[in-house]
Chain A
């Protein structure tokens, strides 16, 4: 595709439910990143994939959060037992060069998650 896409664009769920958020990176980009952005804040790093493996998951807040990228392309962020504090916009980004995470990242439009 032309850019990074994320689905759904909006997700409303109830406290305690399980949700999955999907990211389709730019074709050929081997590096993929997940961020979380709360209102009035900048994006907060969650996890980084290089190919199929999670190279850095130090930003995941707790074990309710998990992400996979089984074929090195599409990634799914999974949140178990959602809490109201999980409400935020979840952003996905990809970049071409896996060896240098500091290079330009291309962001998707985000998924706005609301936990009631």
Chain B
């Protein structure tokens, strides 16, 4: 399986602090994506990083990818209470394969 596995399962921080979530996977990938989910319903795409990229930024988000370690991290800087949600990594393997999601990290940002 090439399922992404997030770490930690849950994270609680104070507003203004940085939040770091990690994702590990098992096989070669085409790309890795991070999604956010509020209240157990629809997911929102945050960022996509391709296998030949090492780092991407989008606003307060920074994603890194280390294909040698088969891992990725999502950093949210200067967190806000509104960032409270579950965050999932999803990997797309080589070839025409479906996205495979991890179990997610539940982030709580306390005001």
Contact = CB atoms under 8 A, between A and B. Distances in A.
Interface residues of A, number: 29
A108 B88 contact: no
B106 to A, nearest CB: 9
Contacts of A59: 98
B31 interface: yes
Interface in B25-54: 30-31, 33, 35, 40-45, 48
A101 B41 contact: no
A43 B43 contact: yes
A109 B42 contact: yes
Provide the main secondary structure of the chain B interface: strand
Contact of A107 (B31, B44, B97, B100): B44
Contacts of B97: 101
Nearest to B48: A104
Contacts of A65: none
Contacts of A85: none
A48 B33 CA distance: 18
Contacts of B42: 4, 91, 107-110
Given A48-B98, A102-B92, A104-B45, A40 B103 contact: yes
Interface of A: 4, 33, 35, 37, 39-45, 48, 55-56, 58-59, 89, 91, 93, 101-110
17 contacts: A4-B42, A35-B101, A37-B40, A40-B103, A41-B103, A42-B102, A42-B104, A43-B101, A55-B96, A56-B96, A56-B98, A89-B40, A102-B30, A102-B31, A103-B48, A104-B33, A105-B45
